[in-house]
Protein backbone atom coordinates (compact mmCIF):
# COMPACT_ATOMS: atom_id res chain seq x y z
CA UNK A 1 0.00 0.00 0.00
CA UNK A 2 2.85 2.39 0.87
CA UNK A 3 4.52 1.66 -2.48
CA UNK A 4 1.24 2.37 -4.28
CA UNK A 5 0.80 5.68 -2.44
CA UNK A 6 4.36 6.78 -3.26
CA UNK A 7 3.82 5.84 -6.91
CA UNK A 8 0.58 7.83 -7.02
CA UNK A 9 2.27 10.93 -5.65
CA UNK A 10 5.12 10.50 -8.15
CA UNK A 11 2.64 10.30 -11.03
CA UNK A 12 0.88 13.45 -9.80
CA UNK A 13 4.18 15.33 -9.55
CA UNK A 14 5.17 14.31 -13.09
CA UNK A 15 1.69 15.24 -14.36
CA UNK A 16 1.97 18.62 -12.69
CA UNK A 17 5.35 19.32 -14.27
CA UNK A 18 4.21 18.29 -17.75
CA UNK A 19 0.88 20.18 -17.74
CA UNK A 20 1.88 23.23 -15.73
CA UNK A 21 -0.83 22.37 -13.21
CA UNK A 22 -0.20 22.23 -9.46
CA UNK A 23 -1.81 19.53 -7.31
CA UNK A 24 -2.08 19.91 -3.54
CA UNK A 25 -3.83 17.91 -0.83
CA UNK A 26 -5.76 19.28 2.13
CA UNK A 27 -8.02 18.14 4.97
CA UNK A 28 -10.93 20.29 6.14
CA UNK A 29 -10.50 19.02 9.69
CA UNK A 30 -7.31 21.08 9.89
CA UNK A 31 -8.96 24.22 8.53
CA UNK A 32 -7.45 26.03 5.57
CA UNK A 33 -7.41 29.09 7.85
CA UNK A 34 -8.34 29.13 11.52
CA UNK A 35 -10.30 31.78 13.42
CA UNK A 36 -11.88 33.11 10.22
CA UNK A 37 -15.48 33.11 8.97
CA UNK A 38 -17.66 34.50 6.16
CA UNK A 39 -14.94 34.01 3.52
CA UNK A 40 -14.74 35.76 0.18
CA UNK A 41 -12.03 34.83 -2.34
CA UNK A 42 -10.82 37.16 -5.09
CA UNK A 43 -8.80 35.83 -8.04
CA UNK A 44 -6.35 38.38 -9.44
CA UNK A 45 -3.08 38.18 -11.42
CA UNK A 46 -2.26 34.59 -10.54
CA UNK A 47 -3.04 34.80 -6.85
CA UNK A 48 -6.01 34.26 -4.56
CA UNK A 49 -6.98 36.74 -1.85
CA UNK A 50 -9.26 35.70 1.01
CA UNK A 51 -11.13 38.19 3.16
CA UNK A 52 -13.41 37.40 6.08
CA UNK A 53 -14.57 37.92 9.64
CA UNK A 54 -11.94 37.39 12.30
CA UNK A 55 -13.20 35.43 15.30
CA UNK A 56 -10.58 37.11 17.49
CA UNK A 57 -9.99 40.56 15.96
CA UNK A 58 -13.29 41.67 14.39
CA UNK A 59 -13.07 45.06 16.10
CA UNK A 60 -9.80 45.84 14.27
CA UNK A 61 -10.86 45.45 10.64
CA UNK A 62 -10.96 42.92 7.79
CA UNK A 63 -7.92 40.62 7.44
CA UNK A 64 -6.56 39.39 4.11
CA UNK A 65 -4.76 36.13 3.30
CA UNK A 66 -2.92 35.25 0.08
CA UNK A 67 -2.46 31.90 -1.71
CA UNK A 68 -1.14 30.50 -4.97
CA UNK A 69 -3.10 27.23 -4.78
CA UNK A 70 -6.15 27.76 -2.48
CA UNK A 71 -4.63 25.27 -0.03
CA UNK A 72 -1.71 27.12 1.55
CA UNK A 73 -2.52 30.59 2.87
CA UNK A 74 -0.47 33.30 4.51
CA UNK A 75 -1.34 36.64 6.03
CA UNK A 76 0.97 39.30 4.56
CA UNK A 77 2.77 41.79 6.75
CA UNK A 78 2.67 45.46 5.86
CA UNK A 79 1.55 48.91 6.83
CA UNK A 80 -1.76 47.57 8.09
CA UNK A 81 -0.40 44.39 9.71
CA UNK A 82 -2.29 42.00 7.48
CA UNK A 83 -5.55 43.95 7.39
CA UNK A 84 -7.10 44.87 4.05
CA UNK A 85 -9.38 47.23 5.98
CA UNK A 86 -8.28 48.93 9.17
CA UNK A 87 -10.92 50.60 11.33
CA UNK A 88 -9.26 54.03 11.22
CA UNK A 89 -9.82 54.15 7.43
CA UNK A 90 -13.58 53.52 7.30
CA UNK A 91 -16.83 54.27 9.11
CA UNK A 92 -17.43 52.30 12.31
CA UNK A 93 -15.50 51.32 15.42
CA UNK A 94 -16.25 47.60 15.78
CA UNK A 95 -17.91 44.48 14.34
CA UNK A 96 -16.10 44.44 11.00
CA UNK A 97 -17.52 41.43 9.17
CA UNK A 98 -17.19 39.68 5.79
CA UNK A 99 -15.69 41.68 2.90
CA UNK A 100 -16.74 41.07 -0.72
CA UNK A 101 -14.24 42.52 -3.24
CA UNK A 102 -14.60 43.23 -6.96
CA UNK A 103 -12.37 44.92 -9.53
CA UNK A 104 -14.04 47.78 -11.39
CA UNK A 105 -12.30 50.20 -13.76
CA UNK A 106 -8.89 49.60 -12.22
CA UNK A 107 -10.02 49.98 -8.61
CA UNK A 108 -10.88 47.37 -5.99
CA UNK A 109 -14.19 47.86 -4.19
CA UNK A 110 -14.90 46.13 -0.89
CA UNK A 111 -18.42 45.74 0.48
CA UNK A 112 -18.05 45.05 4.19
CA UNK A 113 -20.12 45.22 7.34
CA UNK A 114 -19.26 47.63 10.17
CA UNK A 115 -21.44 47.90 13.25
CA UNK A 116 -24.24 46.11 11.36
CA UNK A 117 -24.20 48.60 8.47
CA UNK A 118 -22.98 48.17 4.88
CA UNK A 119 -19.84 50.11 4.00
CA UNK A 120 -18.07 50.51 0.63
CA UNK A 121 -14.31 51.12 0.65
CA UNK A 122 -11.89 51.47 -2.28
CA UNK A 123 -8.24 50.52 -2.85
CA UNK A 124 -5.65 50.40 -5.63
CA UNK A 125 -4.54 46.93 -4.45
CA UNK A 126 -6.32 43.73 -3.37
CA UNK A 127 -4.14 43.86 -0.24
CA UNK A 128 -5.53 47.27 0.65
CA UNK A 129 -5.59 49.54 2.41
CA UNK A 130 -9.28 49.96 1.53
CA UNK A 131 -10.47 53.43 2.51
CA UNK A 132 -13.49 55.73 2.38
CA UNK A 133 -13.10 59.33 1.26
CA UNK A 134 -16.33 60.09 3.09
CA UNK A 135 -16.80 57.82 6.08
CA UNK A 136 -20.43 56.80 6.10
CA UNK A 137 -22.47 53.62 5.59
CA UNK A 138 -24.69 53.03 2.57
CA UNK A 139 -27.82 53.50 4.71
CA UNK A 140 -27.02 55.26 8.01
CA UNK A 141 -30.50 54.66 9.44
CA UNK A 142 -30.92 51.00 8.41
CA UNK A 143 -29.04 47.99 9.75
CA UNK A 144 -27.71 45.84 6.89
CA UNK A 145 -25.06 43.10 6.76
CA UNK A 146 -23.49 40.51 4.43
CA UNK A 147 -23.10 42.49 1.21
CA UNK A 148 -22.30 40.39 -1.87
CA UNK A 149 -21.93 41.80 -5.40
CA UNK A 150 -22.78 40.12 -8.71
CA UNK A 151 -22.06 41.62 -12.13
CA UNK A 152 -24.40 40.32 -14.84
CA UNK A 153 -23.51 39.62 -18.47
CA UNK A 154 -24.91 43.02 -19.50
CA UNK A 155 -22.57 44.83 -17.10
CA UNK A 156 -25.24 45.71 -14.55
CA UNK A 157 -24.10 45.16 -10.97
CA UNK A 158 -26.31 43.94 -8.12
CA UNK A 159 -25.77 43.70 -4.41
CA UNK A 160 -27.38 41.11 -2.14
CA UNK A 161 -27.51 41.82 1.58
CA UNK A 162 -29.39 41.18 4.81
CA UNK A 163 -31.83 43.38 6.67
CA UNK A 164 -33.36 42.59 10.06
CA UNK A 165 -37.11 42.11 9.55
CA UNK A 166 -38.54 39.46 11.89
CA UNK A 167 -35.23 37.66 11.46
CA UNK A 168 -32.45 37.95 8.89
CA UNK A 169 -33.93 38.52 5.42
CA UNK A 170 -32.01 38.64 2.12
CA UNK A 171 -32.63 41.67 -0.08
CA UNK A 172 -31.23 42.60 -3.48
CA UNK A 173 -30.73 45.84 -5.37
CA UNK A 174 -29.04 47.19 -8.48
CA UNK A 175 -25.91 49.22 -7.79
CA UNK A 176 -25.32 52.69 -9.17
CA UNK A 177 -22.86 53.13 -12.04
CA UNK A 178 -20.10 54.25 -9.65
CA UNK A 179 -20.65 51.09 -7.52
CA UNK A 180 -20.94 53.20 -4.36
CA UNK A 181 -24.69 53.20 -3.71
CA UNK A 182 -27.90 51.31 -4.41
CA UNK A 183 -30.60 52.36 -6.82
CA UNK A 184 -33.20 52.75 -4.10
CA UNK A 185 -36.17 52.01 -6.33
CA UNK A 186 -34.76 48.54 -7.09
CA UNK A 187 -34.42 47.29 -3.49
CA UNK A 188 -36.36 44.02 -3.36
CA UNK A 189 -36.91 41.31 -0.76
CA UNK A 190 -35.49 38.04 -2.07
CA UNK A 191 -35.40 35.34 0.62
CA UNK A 192 -36.61 34.74 4.16
CA UNK A 193 -36.81 31.63 6.34
CA UNK A 194 -39.69 29.42 5.20
CA UNK A 195 -38.55 25.84 4.50
CA UNK A 196 -38.78 23.34 7.41
CA UNK A 197 -35.00 22.76 7.64
CA UNK A 198 -34.52 26.50 8.20
CA UNK A 199 -36.16 26.25 11.64
CA UNK A 200 -33.67 24.16 13.61
CA UNK A 201 -34.80 22.79 16.96
CA UNK A 202 -31.24 23.08 18.25
CA UNK A 203 -30.01 26.18 20.05
CA UNK A 204 -29.56 29.03 19.43
CA UNK A 205 -32.70 29.43 17.33
CA UNK A 206 -33.43 32.29 14.94
CA UNK A 207 -35.23 33.02 11.67
CA UNK A 208 -32.27 33.48 9.38
CA UNK A 209 -31.44 33.59 5.68
CA UNK A 210 -28.04 35.24 5.17
CA UNK A 211 -24.68 34.97 3.42
CA UNK A 212 -26.12 35.23 -0.09
CA UNK A 213 -23.98 34.52 -3.16
CA UNK A 214 -25.08 34.60 -6.80
CA UNK A 215 -24.28 32.14 -9.58
CA UNK A 216 -25.61 32.31 -13.14
CA UNK A 217 -25.92 29.07 -15.09
CA UNK A 218 -27.56 28.57 -18.49
CA UNK A 219 -29.41 31.87 -18.13
CA UNK A 220 -30.82 30.94 -14.71
CA UNK A 221 -29.91 32.86 -11.54
CA UNK A 222 -28.96 30.74 -8.54
CA UNK A 223 -29.01 32.67 -5.25
CA UNK A 224 -27.29 30.62 -2.56
CA UNK A 225 -27.75 31.40 1.14
CA UNK A 226 -27.25 30.01 4.63
CA UNK A 227 -30.04 29.39 7.14
CA UNK A 228 -30.27 29.06 10.94
CA UNK A 229 -28.11 30.83 13.55
CA UNK A 230 -24.37 30.81 12.80
CA UNK A 231 -23.63 29.26 16.22
CA UNK A 232 -26.15 26.46 15.59
CA UNK A 233 -24.87 23.07 14.43
CA UNK A 234 -27.59 23.19 11.73
CA UNK A 235 -26.24 26.31 10.00
CA UNK A 236 -26.53 25.02 6.42
CA UNK A 237 -26.60 26.07 2.77
CA UNK A 238 -29.52 26.20 0.35
CA UNK A 239 -30.34 27.97 -2.89
CA UNK A 240 -33.20 29.46 -4.89
CA UNK A 241 -33.61 30.04 -8.63
CA UNK A 242 -35.10 32.80 -10.77
CA UNK A 243 -35.22 34.06 -14.34
CA UNK A 244 -34.27 37.54 -13.11
CA UNK A 245 -31.48 38.81 -10.82
CA UNK A 246 -33.98 40.29 -8.36
CA UNK A 247 -36.50 37.46 -8.46
CA UNK A 248 -39.11 36.29 -7.75
CA UNK A 249 -37.27 33.30 -6.28
CA UNK A 250 -38.17 29.63 -5.91
CA UNK A 251 -36.23 27.66 -3.32
CA UNK A 252 -34.87 24.26 -4.32
CA UNK A 253 -36.98 21.47 -2.82
CA UNK A 254 -33.87 19.41 -2.06
CA UNK A 255 -32.34 22.02 0.26
CA UNK A 256 -30.04 22.06 2.14
CA UNK A 257 -27.25 21.20 -0.30
CA UNK A 258 -24.56 21.48 2.40
CA UNK A 259 -25.07 20.63 6.05
CA UNK A 260 -22.83 19.43 8.86
CA UNK A 261 -22.05 15.88 9.94
CA UNK A 262 -20.75 14.31 13.14
CA UNK A 263 -17.36 16.02 12.74
CA UNK A 264 -17.87 19.34 10.95
CA UNK A 265 -20.88 21.53 11.81
CA UNK A 266 -22.19 25.04 11.27
CA UNK A 267 -21.30 24.98 7.57
CA UNK A 268 -21.95 27.89 5.25
CA UNK A 269 -21.71 31.59 4.38
CA UNK A 270 -19.21 31.02 1.59
CA UNK A 271 -18.21 31.78 -1.98
CA UNK A 272 -18.18 29.75 -5.21
CA UNK A 273 -15.07 29.76 -7.41
CA UNK A 274 -14.86 28.77 -11.08
CA UNK A 275 -11.32 27.70 -12.05
CA UNK A 276 -11.82 28.88 -14.72
CA UNK A 277 -15.34 27.54 -15.38
CA UNK A 278 -18.05 25.26 -13.99
CA UNK A 279 -16.03 22.14 -14.85
CA UNK A 280 -13.70 23.03 -11.97
CA UNK A 281 -15.98 24.71 -9.43
CA UNK A 282 -15.40 24.90 -5.67
CA UNK A 283 -17.19 26.21 -2.60
CA UNK A 284 -15.15 27.89 0.15
CA UNK A 285 -17.04 28.22 3.45
CA UNK A 286 -16.65 28.27 7.22
CA UNK A 287 -17.53 25.70 9.88
CA UNK A 288 -17.07 24.91 13.57
CA UNK A 289 -16.87 21.76 15.68
CA UNK A 290 -20.22 22.19 17.44
CA UNK A 291 -19.37 24.89 19.94
CA UNK A 292 -19.90 27.86 17.62
CA UNK A 293 -16.38 29.24 17.79
CA UNK A 294 -13.64 29.31 16.73
CA UNK A 295 -14.63 28.98 13.10
CA UNK A 296 -12.40 27.61 10.35
CA UNK A 297 -12.30 27.68 6.57
CA UNK A 298 -13.14 24.61 4.48
CA UNK A 299 -13.39 23.90 0.75
CA UNK A 300 -15.23 21.29 -1.32
CA UNK A 301 -16.15 20.53 -4.93
CA UNK A 302 -19.34 21.88 -6.50
CA UNK A 303 -21.10 21.21 -9.79
CA UNK A 304 -24.34 21.50 -11.72
CA UNK A 305 -26.16 18.29 -12.64
CA UNK A 306 -29.23 17.71 -14.80
CA UNK A 307 -32.62 17.59 -13.11
CA UNK A 308 -34.31 14.30 -13.97
CA UNK A 309 -37.68 16.08 -13.69
CA UNK A 310 -36.77 18.58 -16.39
CA UNK A 311 -36.34 21.59 -14.15
CA UNK A 312 -33.30 23.87 -13.89
CA UNK A 313 -30.00 22.09 -13.38
CA UNK A 314 -29.34 21.20 -9.74
CA UNK A 315 -26.48 22.79 -7.82
CA UNK A 316 -24.64 20.04 -5.96
CA UNK A 317 -21.94 20.16 -3.26
CA UNK A 318 -19.69 17.29 -2.18
CA UNK A 319 -19.04 18.34 1.39
CA UNK A 320 -18.40 18.63 4.09
CA UNK A 321 -15.47 16.27 3.55
CA UNK A 322 -13.37 15.27 6.56
CA UNK A 323 -10.63 13.19 4.92
CA UNK A 324 -7.65 14.07 2.74
CA UNK A 325 -8.80 15.65 -0.51
CA UNK A 326 -7.09 16.53 -3.77
CA UNK A 327 -7.10 20.31 -4.06
CA UNK A 328 -8.09 22.35 -7.10
CA UNK A 329 -6.03 22.03 -10.25
CA UNK A 330 -4.68 25.51 -10.85
CA UNK A 331 -3.58 26.28 -14.38
CA UNK A 332 -1.22 29.22 -14.73
CA UNK A 333 -3.36 30.81 -17.45
CA UNK A 334 -6.66 30.34 -15.60
CA UNK A 335 -6.96 33.81 -14.15
Q: Which residues are catalytic?
A: 38, 210
Task: Check: CB of residue 160 under 8 Å from CB of residue 216.
Answer: no
Please state, as a whole number, how many other Cβ atoms lie within 10 Å of the Cβ of residue 121: 25
Burial 224-240 (b: 16+ CB within 10 A, else e): bbbbbbbbbbbbbbbbb
Q: What is the C-alpha to C-alpha distance for residues 65 and 270, in angstroms, rounded to an integer?
A: 15
Return the closest-CA partner of residue 121 out of 193, 64, 196: 64
CB atoms within 10 A of CB 307: 12
- Host H or E run for residue 14: helix 2-19
Q: Which residues contact 145 (CB under 8 A, 6 or more apart)?
A: 97, 98, 113, 116, 117, 118, 161, 162, 168, 210
Q: Rounded to the nearest 5 degrees, what angle is found at the Cα of 246, between the Cα atoms of 95 and 242?
A: 120
Amino acid sequence: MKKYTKLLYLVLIIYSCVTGQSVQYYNNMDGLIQNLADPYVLQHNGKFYMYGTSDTESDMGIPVYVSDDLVHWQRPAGAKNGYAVFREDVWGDRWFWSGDVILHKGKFYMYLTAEEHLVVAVSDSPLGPFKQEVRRPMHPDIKEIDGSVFVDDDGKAYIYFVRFDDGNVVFGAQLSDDMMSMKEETITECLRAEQPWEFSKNEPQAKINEGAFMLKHKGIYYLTYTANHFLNVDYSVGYAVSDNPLGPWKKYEGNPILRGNDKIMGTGNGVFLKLPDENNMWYVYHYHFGNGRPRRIAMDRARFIADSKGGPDILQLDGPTTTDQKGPVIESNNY
